[in-house]
Amino acid sequence: MAKGGGLLCVMNDIAPECDRRDYEAWYQGDHLPDRLGIAGFQHARRYRRLNGPRAEFLTFYETATPQVLCSAPYLKRLAEPTDWTARIMAHFRTMSRSICHVALDEGQAGAGGMLALMAQQEAPAAGLEARLAAILEKPAVTRVRLWQADPSVTVPSPEEKLRPGGDASFATIMVVEGTNAEMIQAALTAHGFTAAPTFYSLIYAAPSLKDSPA
């Protein structure tokens, strides 16, 4: 997506007692159509952790601008969750919800099946964009992204009260996509990224419902 667009990044575990069949049915049949039906939401992807320190599930939504994430239609959906959403979100654990702007997005437009994510509470260090962009020279790396928290559009979610433990957030999220996890790790190491990434495998990618063929 274009630099300057909006990005909502969600990471979560689910409680052991949560019925995973119900969780998947809700995400695909209720939650994604609900979010992607909002004006300005362009794309969504879902991932599941392969290894690393972050939560089991990663979902992110791309929006036309960061302001979409504080728009009246979106806030209305947050204030009026479906019954199914309320039931499922009671099982969310270690939730993080970061509203960002896209500071860097370079590489191929497609989705690499493997994704390495590094997230931190601190603002990005000087030169980080150039270091990430250089990783594209390495084998099996298809795309690099940098998402930065945008305080101008970060608003509390009314849905947070549904999730035990509340919501954390991150100031900086780095994402490297590719086709081979070992090669992505080697590329990160070669460029001096020492923090342990979390590797995720793609579950599902969806365009906005407004962009779907009739």
**113-147: pLDDT as tens digits:** 999 999 999 999 999 999 999 999 999 999 999 99
Confidence of residue 109 (pLDDT cuts 50, 70, 90): confident
Q: Report the pLDDT averaged over residues 38-67.
A: 97
Residue percentage of the chain with pLDDT more than 90: 89
- The per-residue pLDDT of the chain, averaged, comes to 94
Tokens of 52: 């690393």
Residue 121, amino acid: Q
Residue percentage of the chain with pLDDT more than 70: 96
Tokens of 161: 């009260």
Tens of pLDDT, residues 86-103: 999 999 999 999 999 999
Q: What is the pLDDT of residue 151?
A: 87
Q: What is the pLDDT of residue 1?
A: 61
Q: Check whether 214 has a pLDDT greater than 80.
A: no
Q: Check whether 212 has a pLDDT greater than 80.
A: no
End-to-end alpha-carbon separation of the chain, Å? 23
Alpha carbons 134 and 136: distance in angstroms, whole number: 5
Q: What is the pLDDT of residue 211?
A: 54
DSSP-based three-state secondary structure for 44: strand
Tokens of 105: 């997005």
Confidence of residue 72 (pLDDT cuts 50, 70, 90): very high
Tens of pLDDT, residues 11-39: 999 999 999 999 999 999 999 999 999 99
Alpha carbons 57 and 11: distance in angstroms, whole number: 6
Least Cα distance to 62 among 184, 214, 211 occurs for: 211
Q: Check whether 156 has a pLDDT greater than 90.
A: no
